[in-house]
């Protein structure tokens, strides 16, 4: 049997509509009998050839014992917290964090919870950085980018002191916007001073009351804030689940606005390129197919994926081999792969003209600082290969190799890793609250800096350590890091994986479950 | 004994059955059969909603046409074509190819092209590179010369306990307000508040009560009304927070807020004051500490002071300062702080050096005040234009004395004045607003900004140029 479109790994006869003959297909999973003995299920997509390369994403299920122990751990933590609060209240234990002044206490407490953050004051040198979003390695203090930025700083100074529409539009900004448009393959682009603000200030300019926003479950806080500020109705679909999205689209068009049943003015789908907490990549071909079928608009936030995915670093659109014109609004940030700060939005000329006149940022907020602009220009030219060296191409290749190597080694060691095989964001599951702090400290003792995340940024039992790979990591650095991670993993008993890759977040979508719910 | 008691009860029941009248038994039998029938009959759905067939749904999906994603912008939209500035936006600025004197950038202390500031930024660039590649919580906090240092210096300069830095001026107040004020809290805000404050209030979902611009009597009336409401429901009042949000120097009107009365109201009605000092930081007060120093008020009475570093400090970013108890909360709940990359080190180093310069020459604030007074006096009495703003505000507006009736016409007239002034090498700009989004849209105006770098001769020339052009265009 020849392998089916999309490169699946089973050997069953494939029917025309992409279903496998006597295996079950649910949401793109195929239970292949060859591996049935080991109980393996892979995410394989066979949607009639939408995908030109295998899309391997896996979220291994939490082992039952670990889940129970994690809840117990949180329970103990909460009780301990109450005990210490009690001791502090009765002055048995000294209170270290700041308290409200006496004369201000007559007024209602300004906020309810008291959390404190203290710096430890220790200095540790020569730590391998596995936590910064430095995907292509442009965040360094030597090299051509830095020299160009230094020259521009001498000439232009640091600040701008005005908004884009008043007198803050420098010739550098126009140059940058043309370059960004060329890089992305769109008609025009516009840049902003802060990535977070790009989302929260432009989504309200695009949609308003009477429009519908369909947003992924795990979208970033800036997208959520922008959607809320716009005043449109927000509906959430399950993470990366295309059936859920299609169901919402169908219902929205057929039934219209709630109560009045008027048709929606516009429907905007908000997705991200790479989700930074899960390491998953959006199923862009399917989203674009759905968007075309139902005439919705697509807003793609490529904060993490621009520069990091794709053979020439053009992001998730190039990774899947799609046409940038299919995405209505391509948004991204310069903070991660370009080593600068700021954000951009690219798209058709009408879109960018509209944003130039109606975006909140263009009217009320300062434009980008000139040396930062120069850093972006130089690094973008380097990635495109226009500066005459092949440094850009090498960095991209190095990042892709690092990603595959690192993920493979960690899986072999037995850790539970979430996410797509090609994403440079690698979340390693820790689960228990005590291990969160312990992992961070142990790794720092061995001179490796990692980022550990817990509730509320992640679901309560799924706390994780997140590694961000970079093109600046050489194989030796990765090997050192892997050795230490292995050691700490054995010490803290983190190797939970039983190689049973059961889909966790993408539960098999049952048509009947939605039919019965009342609207 | 229990079984005999049961049997006894059973015997009684059977006897009662024999003794009951016939109709009673028949009625009960019918009822029991009816209940059994109801229990086993099929449930039916309410037929309110007629379910559409699959074909009808497909037709609806085919028919639906969305609006275009963005409406077409006419080619002559006043804000579509930006002025292009070649080179740095410093005192001598080149706008659209013309050399002009800059009366439009908020570069109050002239620190934009100060060589010391540039040198400090350059040193930081050589040491750290440009970006920080991470938020403050994930390896984005640099200590020496950068973030912690800047926060320390700002706190010391403003004589507060602590300060916190944001990487964008607009996001500072827009993230600070929702961190404290939640749904159910009450906020009293001035009606001339700037757009960033409006967005922060919208994100916080609190009850917003606008009071007339700088009208303390109106504010007191609203506070009294709220007090009466509170007495009706004291339990709710005990957990509701009340905030008063004002600006030091208002961006939209150029006036100063009456801070002493506000502090009195604060203690009388138990509210918190948030002060937005973007325009007054580095301008008012003997040492440039803002409105609190100008009026001589104890800074601990103000709960939060927020400012952006994009005006007097000529850098990028913003900060909030106040008591530790208040500011620490933002480190975990300020959205623009936790979820966004930190300030690039070169911008922070520039801000630190600018602070150094401010501390070393406290004389520049008096010089700036003098220049403001001078140009205010010179611009009085232009026929057709009136000056809006106080004499000590370095950023004020020139509005049309009589509007033509339509905002578009007004904007066109003012743009003609601005273009002609630009031809005579005075760079001005119109104050830009989002017409549909502002709560209280100010009338169209020309923004004039005074900086320490402008000489007296230049100020005089600007005033006379504006007078001539206004006369030519408006008459």
The pLDDT tens digits for B268-326 are: 988 899 999 988 998 888 888 989 999 999 888 898 999 989 888 889 999 999 988 88
For residues B227 and B270, the answer to whether their CB atoms sit within 8 Å is no
Q: Indicate the average pLDDT of chain A.
A: 80
Q: What are phi and psi of B432, to 5 degrees?
A: -100, 140
Q: Helix %, strand %, coil % for chain B, to 5?
A: 45, 15, 40
Of B217, B223, B213, B221, residue with least CA distance to B246: B213
Q: How many CB pairs under 8 A join A and B?
A: 324
| pLDDT band (50, 70, 90) for residue B28 | very high
B residues 22-61 lying closer than 8 A (beta carbon) to A: 52, 57, 60-61
For residues A273 and A322, the answer to whether their CB atoms sit within 8 Å is no
Q: What are phi and psi of A193, to 5 degrees?
A: -75, -20
For residues A409 and A171, the answer to whether their CB atoms sit within 8 Å is no
Question: Which of B83, B138, B311 lies nearest to residue A169, judging by beta carbons?
Answer: B83
Residue A304 designated active-site = yes
Give the pLDDT confidence of A2-17 residue by residue, as tens digits: 433 433 333 444 333 3
Whole-number pLDDT of residue A244: 92
Whole-number pLDDT of residue A508: 46
Contact A159 B168 (CB under 8 A): no
Between CA B250 and CA B395 the distance in angstroms is 9
Q: How far is A12 from chain B (nearest CA, A)?
A: 32
State what percent of residues in chain A have pLDDT above 90.
33
Contact A196 B335 (CB under 8 A): yes
Of A327, A265, A332, residue with least CA distance to A298: A327
* Mean pLDDT for the stretch of residues B187-203: 91
Catalytic position from the list A42, A173, A239, A336: A336
CB count within 10 Å of CB A397 equals 13
Between CA B45 and CA B166 the distance in angstroms is 56
For residues B265 and B219, the answer to whether their CB atoms sit within 8 Å is yes
3-class DSSP assignment, residue B200: helix
Q: What are phi and psi of B86, to 5 degrees?
A: -95, 125
Whole-number pLDDT of residue A511: 40
Distances in Å between the Cα of A224 and the Cα atoms of A200, A214, A229, A232, A473 are 8, 11, 9, 12, 33
Between CA A263 and CA B62 the distance in angstroms is 13
Chain B environment of A210 (Cβ under 8 Å) = none
Whole-number pLDDT of residue B145: 64
Distances in Å between the Cα of A226 and the Cα atoms of A204, B174, B440 are 6, 12, 22
Of B131, B127, B121, residue with least CA distance to A138: B131
Of A145, A154, A518, A189, residue with least CA distance to A352: A189
Chain B environment of A104 (Cβ under 8 Å) = 303, 323
Beta bridge partners of B324: none
Contact A194 B167 (CB under 8 A): yes
Burial letters B444-475, b for 16+ CB under 10 A, else e:
bbbbbbbbbbbeeebbebbbebbbebbeebbe
Q: How far is A265 from chain B (nearest CA, A)?
A: 6
Contact A360 B199 (CB under 8 A): yes
For residues B410 and B403, the answer to whether their CB atoms sit within 8 Å is yes
For residues B430 and B85, the answer to whether their CB atoms sit within 8 Å is no
Between CA A11 and CA B305 the distance in angstroms is 67
Catalytic position from the list A276, A280, A337, A423: A276
Whole-number pLDDT of residue A44: 45
Inter-helix orientation angle B345-360/B115-128, to 10°: 150
Give the pLDDT confidence of B327-339 residue by residue, as tens digits: 888 888 888 888 8
Whole-number pLDDT of residue A180: 94
Half-sphere exposure in the Cβ direction for B57 (13 Å, CA): 14
Between CA A163 and CA A161 the distance in angstroms is 7
For residues B263 and A98, the answer to whether their CB atoms sit within 8 Å is no
Chain B residue with the nearest C-alpha to that of A173: B84
Chain A residue with the nearest C-alpha to that of B202: A229
Between CA B139 and CA B129 the distance in angstroms is 15
B122 to chain A, any CB pair closer than 8 A? The answer is: yes
What are the E-state strand segments in A288-393? Answer: 297-301, 329-333, 343-347
Q: How far is A360 from chain B (nearest CA, A)?
A: 7
DSSP assignment string, A358-369? H-HHHHHSB---
CB count within 10 Å of CB B434 equals 18
Burial letters A482-512, b for 16+ CB under 10 A, else e:
bebbbebbeeeebebbeeebebebbeebeee
Give the ipTM of the model, two decimals please: 0.84
Whole-number pLDDT of residue A302: 92
Between CA A133 and CA A172 the distance in angstroms is 25
Beta bridge partners of B399: B386, B445
Residue A220 designated active-site = no
Give the pLDDT confidence of A33-77 residue by residue, as tens digits: 333 333 333 444 445 567 777 787 778 778 888 889 888 988 999
Residue A336 designated active-site = yes
Chain B residue with the nearest C-alpha to that of A367: B316
Find the Cα–Cα–Cα–Cα dihedral A47, A52, A53, A58, rounded to 10°.
Answer: -30
Chain A environment of B308 (Cβ under 8 Å) = 366
Between CA B109 and CA B134 the distance in angstroms is 32
Give the pLDDT confidence of B119-160 residue by residue, as tens digits: 999 998 888 888 888 887 777 777 666 888 899 999 999 999
Question: Which of A157, A194, A296 lies nearest to residue B171, judging by beta carbons?
Answer: A194
Question: Which of B65, B329, B341 lies nearest to residue A111, judging by beta carbons?
Answer: B329
Burial class (CB in 10 A: 0-12, 13-18, 19+), B29: exposed
Question: Which of B140, B168, B350 lies nearest to residue A158, judging by beta carbons?
Answer: B350
Question: Which of B65, B79, B121 lies nearest to residue A357, judging by beta carbons?
Answer: B79
Domains of chain B, start order: 81-110+363-474 (3.90.1150.10), 115-360 (3.40.640.10)
Between CA A379 and CA B220 the distance in angstroms is 56
* Selected residue of A102, A119, A161 to mutate for chain B interface (largest B Cβ count, 10 A): A161
Give the strand pairing for B426-427 and B395-400. Answer: unpaired
Whole-number pLDDT of residue A130: 83
Question: Which of A206, A340, A363 lies nearest to residue B434, judging by beta carbons?
Answer: A363
Between CA B274 and CA B266 the distance in angstroms is 11
| pLDDT band (50, 70, 90) for residue B50 | low
CA A99 to chain centre: 37
Query: For A418, which DSSP code?
Result: -
Q: What are phi and psi of B128, to 5 degrees?
A: -115, -10
* Selected residue of B48, B54, B59, B70 to mutate for chain A interface (largest A Cβ count, 10 A): B70
Q: Indicate the average pLDDT of chain B.
A: 87
Low-confidence ranges of chain A (pLDDT < 70): 1-49, 93-125, 499-519
Q: What are phi and psi of B376, to 5 degrees?
A: -60, -45
Beta bridge partners of B275: B246, B305
Q: How far is B410 from chain A (nearest CA, A)?
A: 17
Whole-number pLDDT of residue B306: 93
Check pLDDT > 90 for residue B30: yes
Between CA B283 and CA B109 the distance in angstroms is 8
Q: What are phi and psi of A355, to 5 degrees?
A: -70, -30
Give the strand pairing for A233-237 and A212-216. Answer: parallel
Whole-number pLDDT of residue B29: 93
Catalytic position from the list A42, A304, A381, A473: A304
Chain B residue with the nearest C-alpha to that of A467: B138
Q: What are phi and psi of B193, to 5 degrees?
A: -70, 150
Find the Cα–Cα–Cα–Cα dihedral A127, A128, A129, A135, rounded to 10°.
Answer: 150
Find the Cα–Cα–Cα–Cα dihedral B208, A232, B166, B367, rounded to 10°.
Answer: -60
Whole-number pLDDT of residue B274: 92
Q: Helix %, strand %, coil % for chain A, to 5?
A: 40, 15, 45
Contact A166 B104 (CB under 8 A): yes
Q: How far is A308 from chain B (nearest CA, A)?
A: 14
CA A264 to chain centre: 29
Is this structure's pTM higher than 0.95? no
Q: How far is B27 from chain A (nearest CA, A)?
A: 39
Contact B131 A339 (CB under 8 A): yes
Between CA A368 and CA A365 the distance in angstroms is 10
Contact B105 A162 (CB under 8 A): yes
Inter-helix orientation angle A391-413/A370-384, to 10°: 80
How far the first Cα of chain A sits from its last, in Å, is: 46
Between CA A207 and CA A250 the distance in angstroms is 20
Check pLDDT > 50 for residue B170: yes
Helix/strand/coil (H/E/C) assignment for every residue in A98-122: CCCCCCCCCCCCCCCCCCCCCCCCC
- Of the two residues B136 and B167, the one the predictor is more confident about is B167
Give the pLDDT confidence of B1-18 residue by residue, as tens digits: 556 666 778 888 888 877
Instruction: Tell me how many degrees the CA angle A429-A431-A435 measures, rounded to the nearest 5.
Output: 95
């Amino acid at each position: 049997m020849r392998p089916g479109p999309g490169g699946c790994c089973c050997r069953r006869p494939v029917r025309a509509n992409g279903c496998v003959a006597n295996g079950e297909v649910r949401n793109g999973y195929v239970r292949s009998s060859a591996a049935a003995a080991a109980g393996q299920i892979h995410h394989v997509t066979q949607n009639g050839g939408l995908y030109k390369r295998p899309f391997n994403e896996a979220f291994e299920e939490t082992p039952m014992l670990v889940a129970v122990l994690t809840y117990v751990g949180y329970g103990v933590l909460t009780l301990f917290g109450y005990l210490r609060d009690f001791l502090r209240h009765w002055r048995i234990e000294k209170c270290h964090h700041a308290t409200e002044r006496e004369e201000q206490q007559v007024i209602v407490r300004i906020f309810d919870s008291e959390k404190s953050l203290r710096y430890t004051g220790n200095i540790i040198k020569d730590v391998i950085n596995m936590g910064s979003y430095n995907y292509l390695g442009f965040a360094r203090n030597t090299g051509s980018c830095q020299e160009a930025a230094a020259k521009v700083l001498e000439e232009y100074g640091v600040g701008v002191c005005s908004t884009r529409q008043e007198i803050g539009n420098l010739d550098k900004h126009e140059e940058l916007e043309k370059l960004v448009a060329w890089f992305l393959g769109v008609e025009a682009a516009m840049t902003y001073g802060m990535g977070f603000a790009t989302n929260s200030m432009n989504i309200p300019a695009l949609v308003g009351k009477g429009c519908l926003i369909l947003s992924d479950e795990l979208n970033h806080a800036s997208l959520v804030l922008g959607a809320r500020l716009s005043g449109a109705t927000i509906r959430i679909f399950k993470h990366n689940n295309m059936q859920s999205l299609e169901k919402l689209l169908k219902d929205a068009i057929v039934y219209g606005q709630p109560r009045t049943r008027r048709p929606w003015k516009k429907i905007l789908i908000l997705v991200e390129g790479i989700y930074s907490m899960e390491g998953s990549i959006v199923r862009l071909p399917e989203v674009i197919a759905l968007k075309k079928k139902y005439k919705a608009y697509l807003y793609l936030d490529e904060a993490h994926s621009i520069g990091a995915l794709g053979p020439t670093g053009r992001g998730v659109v190039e990774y899947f081999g799609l046409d940038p014109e299919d995405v209505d609004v391509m948004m991204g940030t310069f903070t991660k792969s370009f080593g600068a700060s700021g954000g951009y939005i690219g798209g058709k000329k009408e879109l960018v003209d509209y944003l130039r006149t109606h975006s909140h940022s263009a009217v009320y907020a300062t434009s980008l600082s000139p040396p930062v602009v120069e850093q972006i220009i130089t690094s973008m030219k380097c990635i495109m290969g226009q500066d005459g060296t092949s440094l850009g191409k090498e960095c991209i290749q190095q990042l892709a190799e690092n990603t595959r190597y690192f993920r493979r080694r960690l899986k072999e060691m037995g850790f539970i890793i979430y996410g797509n095989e090609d994403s440079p964001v690698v979340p390693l599951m820790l689960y228990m609250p005590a291990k969160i702090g312990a992992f961070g400290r142990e790794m720092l003792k061995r001179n490796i800096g990692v980022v550990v995340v817990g509730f509320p940024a992640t679901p309560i039992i799924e706390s994780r350590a997140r590694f961000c790979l970079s093109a600046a990591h050489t194989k030796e650095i990765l090997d050192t890091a892997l050795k230490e991670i292995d050691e700490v993993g054995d010490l803290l008993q983190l190797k939970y994986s039983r190689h049973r890759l059961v889909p966790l977040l993408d539960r098999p979508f049952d048509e009947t479950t939605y039919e019965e719910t009342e609207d | 004994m229990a079984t005999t008691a049961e049997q006894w009860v059973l015997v009684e029941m059977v006897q009662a059955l024999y003794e009951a009248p016939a109709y009673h038994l028949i009625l009960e039998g019918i009822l029991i059969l009816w209940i059994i029938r109801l229990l086993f009959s099929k449930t039916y759905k309410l037929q309110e909603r007629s379910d559409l067939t699959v074909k009808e749904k497909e037709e609806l999906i085919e028919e639906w046409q969305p609006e275009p994603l963005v409406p077409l912008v006419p080619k002559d939209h006043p804000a579509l074509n930006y002025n292009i500035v070649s080179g740095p936006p410093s005192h001598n600025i080149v706008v659209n190819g013309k050399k002009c004197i800059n009366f439009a950038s908020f570069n109050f202390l002239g620190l934009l092209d100060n060589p010391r500031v540039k040198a400090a930024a350059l040193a930081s660039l050589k040491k750290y590179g440009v970006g920080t590649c991470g938020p403050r919580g994930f390896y984005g906090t640099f200590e020496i010369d950068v973030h912690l240092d800047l926060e320390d210096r700002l706190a010391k300069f403003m004589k507060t306990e602590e300060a916190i830095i944001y990487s964008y001026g607009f996001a500072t107040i827009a993230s600070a307000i929702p961190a404290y004020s939640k749904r159910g809290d009450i906020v009293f805000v001035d009606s001339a508040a700037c757009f960033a404050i409006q967005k922060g209030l919208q994100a916080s979902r609190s009850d917003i009560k606008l009071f007339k611009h700088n009208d303390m009597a109106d504010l007191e009336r609203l506070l009294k009304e709220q007090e009466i409401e509170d007495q009706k429901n004291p339990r709710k009042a005990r957990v509701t927070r009340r905030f008063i949000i004002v600006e030091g120097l208002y961006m939209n009107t150029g006036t100063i807020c009456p801070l002493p009365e506000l502090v009195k109201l604060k203690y009388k009605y138990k509210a918190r004051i948030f002060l937005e000092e973007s325009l007054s930081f580095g301008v008012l007060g003997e040492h440039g500490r803002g409105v609190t120093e100008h009026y001589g008020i104890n800074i601990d009475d103000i709960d939060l002071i927020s400012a952006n570093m994009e005006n007097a400090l000529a850098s990028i970013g913003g900060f909030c300062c106040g008591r530790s108890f208040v500011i620490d909360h933002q480190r975990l709940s300020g959205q623009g702080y936790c979820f966004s990359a930190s300030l690039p080190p070169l911008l922070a180093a520039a801000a630190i050096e600018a602070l150094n310069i401010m501390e070393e020459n406290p004389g520049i604030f008096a010089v700036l005040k003098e220049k403001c007074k001078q140009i205010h006096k010179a611009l009085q009495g232009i026929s057709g234009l009136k000056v809006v703003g106080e004499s000590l505000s370095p950023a004020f507006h020139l509005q049309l004395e009589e509007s033509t009736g339509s905002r578009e016409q007004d904007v066109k007239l003012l743009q003609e004045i601005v273009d002609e002034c630009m031809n005579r090498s005075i760079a001005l700009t119109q104050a830009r607003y989002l017409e549909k989004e502002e709560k209280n849209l100010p009338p169209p105006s020309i923004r004039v900004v005074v900086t320490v770098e402008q000489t007296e001769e230049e100020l005089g020339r600007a005033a006379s140029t504006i007078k001539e052009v206004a006369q030519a265009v408006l008459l």
